Amino acid sequence: MTIPIRAIPGADFLALQEILAGRYSIERELGRGGMGVVLLARDVALDRLVAIKLLPPALATSPDHRERFLREARTAAGLSHPNIVPIHTVEAHGDIVFFVMGFVDGETLRARVERAGPLSPRLAMKFLQDVAWALAYAHQRGVIHRDIKPDNIMIETATDRALVTDFGIAIGGRHDDGTAEIAGTARYMSPEQALGEPVDGRSDLYSLGATFFFALTGRPPYEGASLPAILARQVSDPVPAVQSLRPEVPARFATLIEHCLQRDPADRFASADDVARAADEARGRDFRAPPLVRSFLRNAQVTTMVMLAVGFAGEGIRISDGNMSIGGGPGIIAIILVVQLVAVARRLLREGYAFADIRQALLAEAQVQQEEADVIQQGRWSRRLNTIWHRLWAGRFGRWFFAVAGWRLKTTARRAVPSADATELVLGRSALAAYQALPDATRFNLRAVPAAVDRLETQAEALRERGQTGEPLVQTMAALENIRLALLRLQAGSGSVQDLSLWLERARDIGDRVGRELEAREEVRAALGRG
């Protein structure tokens, strides 16, 4: 069941949903901040999840803020890059100003660090390179972000891909007295931006360095109670050293971060492309398997080699006359390694990994070792010996091993994900949930609601099956949305039975028109079929 954004929805939500009716259907709130509320919604025509960002009413009533927001959002909408969250549409309806963007199933970089602690250096390098690519693309098109920070970097759960959001939204203007208006987040803002001076792409690079200083250490490079205090530290204190807080960070990566954090833009990297190249060099060989999978690979390789050694030495597990004996120290070590391997495999399965994930990582590692063997011109027999463990664990034995290791194992419950049902079904369930929450007497007076909702759902499904995502589907979904909105207003005490009855009458008229159109199309199809 879809849960309304709040038990009693606010006026802003109702007003926005009324504007969006037939095009987008809001499901729930994703988060809120100084720049507005982000809502999860469904694109009716394409039946996909999107996110909607609503400009705060206090800013929307200001013509300057509204126009600047719309201008910059439209500029950002022209950006199309795998590491930038796309903006689909930007609209203003009076004081309701919003844009619709792609939905990223994941969490912000800040949430990731707060949930799981500072990133490993290798993962931080990957994310930084993703963001640098996005910045390079935008800078080449004249768009400066001006608010790169951990909250504006999304990490996609399925792919561990970093995407930049709110591109071009955080831009400052001028106050009435002619002084610069500063926009951005103080702890991640470049010194020149904090002083209200003109900025270019190198300002974003400073923010990038500050953001990944936080990602690696859990704190921004400069702390202070206010913008002037932070700016004073930027001017007087030396650039903080990442390795003083995280000694395990590779020197080349620490130097990259500190290069971005130079006070003078001329002392930073010249471009985001240069940052991306430096990150690539610091990363070296890119091994994409997650840490838990890499742990299994290491254990599997060692276990295989020990088992082979035990077998060649003739010391292992022997069964004679029904009695089992372990042949010396090597046999005991082999047993310990196997038990440890089973434990790691069970944890992998418990975390949701499958044999296919392990096999993919094994094949990737085999490719890397093949490249290394080519470089050192390794002999044929040595190559075969070194690849035994890959072939063993990536083949039938590996599949059997994971099947045995997963015996009677209960997997960890996963967090709920948005419903995969069609938008009309989700919207219908939400409307019926609001209907069921009404008092018995009110439901009796509105007993036509369930049938109206069911009819609109059925018609929307039929239209979608026929590929008709034009005006008939928009009108049908708008009618369904308006019934839901009227029910929510009634539940909140801001609507009336008469208003809902009016929407039910309009829904009936729309249903009749769409029904006649569907019947006519069916007759045409039948006639063509007979012909």
Residue type, 416: A
492's CB contacts (< 8 A; 6+ apart) are: 8, 9, 14
Residues 6+ apart with CB under 8 A from 279: 125, 128, 129, 132, 253, 256
* Dihedral, 234, 240, 245, 250 alpha carbons, nearest 10: 140
Pairing status of strand 161-164 against strand 153-156: antiparallel
374 is catalytic: no
- CA-atom Rg of the chain in angstroms: 30
For residue 151, give both structure tokens.
Answer: 């909250």
Residue indicated by tokens 């295989």: 304
Residue at 287: amino acid letter: F
User: What is the CB neighbour count within 10 angstroms for residue 351?
Assistant: 12
Buried b / exposed e over 181-220, threshold 16 CB at 10 Å, is: ebbbbbbbbbbbbbeeeebebbbbbbbbbbbbbbbbbeeb
The tokens for 342 are 């089973």
Q: At what angle do helices 497-530 and 449-465 cross, to 10 degrees?
A: 30
**Three-state DSSP class for 331?**
helix
Name residue 498's amino acid.
Q
Q: Which of 95, 130, 147, 286 is catalytic?
A: 147
Count CB-CB contacts under 10 A for residue 159: 11
The first and second tokens of residue 172, run together, are 């400052």
Rounded alpha-carbon distances, angstroms, from residue 468 to 22, 221, 459, 515: 14, 54, 11, 13
> In terms of Cα–Cα distance, which of 221, 192, 227 is closest to 208?
221
- Cα–Cα distance, 452 to 510 (Å, whole number): 11
Residue type, 31: G
Chain centroid offset of residue 361 CA: 23
The number of C-alpha atoms within 13 Å of 389 and in the hemisphere containing its C-beta is 22
CA 478-481-483 angle, to 5 degrees, is 110
Q: What are φ and ψ of residue 299, in 5° steps?
A: -65, -40
Indicate the length of the chain as a whole number.
Answer: 531
User: What positions carry a catalytic annotation?
Assistant: 147
